[in-house]
């Protein structure tokens, strides 16, 4: 298999140290070891003076801003919903307190003798006549 001497494997993450070719049959006089070619230290994008495009940076900034705005909006909605619930519960508590005060006032008013007599007359009951005393024999 023929291998092109200038072809090098592209590195994705970190460049490796250059490979050293070992001569075939060293000491046998067949072929001496080839000298290692010095590897270029900089990536191709840096050599070509290419960096991230402005469009890519602009799109990334838009995506980050949109994500931040969406998160902020969701938090604001959650806070306003919690505020609405607390207002609703506070108004319900006030209504219950008002009902308890009305019931207590009714009990105080209806617990007295004149009120009981008035209610009895209102329901059709009349006052008792003079007591009938039966003599014992």
Q: Which residue has 């604001």 as its token pair?
A: 76
**What pLDDT digit, counting tens, does each position of 3-46 carry?**
556 655 655 666 556 555 555 555 555 555 555 666 656 665 55
How large is the greatest C-alpha to C-alpha distance in the chain, in angstroms? 160
67-109: pLDDT as tens digits: 999 999 999 999 999 999 999 999 999 999 999 999 999 888 7
72 within 8 A of 61, measured Cβ to Cβ: no
Calculate the alpha carbon distances from 8 to 16, 43, 94 in Å.
11, 13, 81
Instruction: For the chain, give every domain's residue range.
Output: 44-119
pTM > 0.85: yes or no:
no
The pLDDT of residue 78 is 93
Query: Is it the case that residue 63 has pLDDT exceeding 60?
Result: yes
Residue 14: predicted pLDDT: 61
């Amino acid at each position: 298999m023929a291998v092109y001497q200038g072809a090098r494997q592209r590195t994705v993450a970190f460049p490796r140290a250059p490979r050293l070719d070992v001569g075939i049959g060293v000491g046998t006089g067949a072929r001496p070891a080839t000298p290692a070619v010095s590897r270029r230290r900089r990536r191709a994008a840096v050599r070509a003076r290419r960096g991230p495009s402005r469009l890519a940076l602009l799109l990334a900034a838009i995506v980050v801003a949109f994500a931040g705005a969406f998160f902020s909006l969701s938090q604001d909605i959650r806070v306003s919903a919690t505020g609405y619930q607390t207002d609703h519960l506070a108004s319900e508590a006030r209504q219950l307190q008002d009902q308890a005060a009305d019931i207590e006032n009714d009990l105080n008013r209806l617990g007295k003798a004149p009120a009981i007599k008035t209610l009895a007359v209102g329901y059709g009951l009349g006052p008792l006549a003079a007591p009938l005393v039966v003599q014992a024999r």
